[in-house]
Structures are given as C-alpha cells and as structure tokens.
Structure 1
Amino acid sequence: MTMHEGMLRPGCATVRDGRLVVAVHLPWYRSLPLSCVESVEVNGVPGVIPDGGTWDLRDPIEVSAPAAGGEIEVSVAVRIPYIQQAPGVPLVQRATARTEVTVR
C-alpha cells in the first residue's frame, strides 16, 4: 500500500449537521505535529486543521465540507521538518486520494 492509499479508508465519510465529514489518515510513515500540516482539502474546499497536538498515524483527523455524494477528492500537504530539500527548506509531501461516497 502506498502512503496515499491509506488516507481514506472504508466508511471514512459521514454526514453530520448537514455537512460531509471525512476521516483522513496521515499519508506519511511517521506521526507529525499538526503544525506541519500546510493544508487539507475536500473537493477543493479547505478544511479546518485542529490546533496543537500530533497527527498520529493510527488516528484520522476529521475534515468537513459541504455535503455531496459521488466521488470525493481529498488533498493533503504536510511539511516534513527532518527532510530538507535545500538548507532551511523542508520537504512538502503532497498526496491526493479519491473515494466514492453515498450521502444519506
């Protein structure tokens, strides 16, 4: 399994208070501080990233977007602070995953 294949798992999407809520897993092999998350988008709509703490590999973060059925696309960009592309320039890992969702 590649890192982006594990981002969206079966049953990852639900509807809560009229909004689509997607459980997104970290597309990296180590847990990272949430401050390393540059962006999380669902169907091109920026999601709210929780404040503080760590995005643990085992735990998804929940991102909400306007409710929509069919295919959803989730994009994540995280800074990897311990891998430098150039002095003082951390690697930014970008991943995109898609899944089919039935909204009820």
Structure 2
Amino acid sequence: MTMTEGMIRPDALTARDGQLAVAVHLPWYRSLPISCIESIDVAVDGVRVAIRSIAVPGFTGRLEEAGRSDAAWDLRDSLEVTLDAPARPGTVVPIEVGIAVRIPYIQQAAGVPLVQRAVVRTEFTIP
C-alpha cells in the first residue's frame, strides 16, 4: 500500500451547510502536528476551489491559522476540509486533492525538512 491509497476514502465527500467538504487522511505513517501542513489544494470538476476551513480534533480554522496550533493530526482522524463549492446532491464530480505535509524529524539537508507531497484524483457522487 502506498502513502496515498488511504488518503481519500469512498465516503470522503459530504455536504455541509450547502457546501462540499472532503475528509482527507494523513499520507504518512505517523501522526503529525497540524502545524506541519504546508499546503492543501482542491479542484472540483477541474476547477480549483477555495478552502473555507480545516478541522481535526482540537483545531478548527483556516489553513493559515494551523501553524499556530498545538493540535495533532492523528492517523485515525481525517482532516475535514470545507470547500467554497456548492453541493448539488446527486451530481457526479471529479475531485483532485493535493497536500504537502512537512515531516519535521526527517531532513533532506541540514535545516531542510522533508515535505511529503501527495495528490489523489477520484470521482464522487455528491450525497
């Protein structure tokens, strides 16, 4: 199994308050601080969409705020990513999720931490 295989699961797409949300699982083998998220990019039907908020137990807010949080992204928890995209129930949409996560305890060079990048493309029917 690769790091990305379990990142987006079959039940990952939901509708919340009329907006799409996607549950993303950590593409790494250990839990990490939420502050290690470098970037998240989501495209719906080929169009990049804005991220309204992200959430894990202990943190809910904007990606820019995650760097100041002490919350951890546990392997067993999904990162709930709420999108600025309307949910149209019954519509089939292609989704692409890209994420970059800094691995603070592995360095590529002196002072340069490893950044694990993963991209998953799949299709969902909006519930």
* TM superposition score normalised by structure 1: 0.90
Give the number of aligned pairs. Answer: 104
Which residue of 2 is the match for residue 89 of structure 1? 112
Which residue of 1 is the match for residue 5 of structure 2? 5
Computed over aligned residues only, the root mean square deviation of the Cα atoms, in angstroms, reads: 1.6
List alignment gaps of at least 5 residues for structure 2: 55-59, 61-65
| Residue 46 of structure 1, CA deviation | 4.8
Cα separation, 2, equivalents of 1:28 and 1:46: 24
Structure having the higher Rg? 2
Which residue of 2 is the match for residue 67 of structure 1? 86
Which residue of 2 is the match for residue 23 of structure 1? 23
Q: 2:75 pairs with 50, 57, 60, which one?
A: 57
Greater share of residues in strand? 2
* TM superposition score normalised by structure 2: 0.75
Amino acid paired to 1:29: Y
| Residue 40 of structure 1, CA deviation | 1.6
Report runs of 4+ in structure 1 exceeding 6 Å deviation.
none
The share of aligned pairs that are identical, in percent, is 62
Amino acid paired to 1:5: E
- Mapped pair 1:45 → 2:64: no
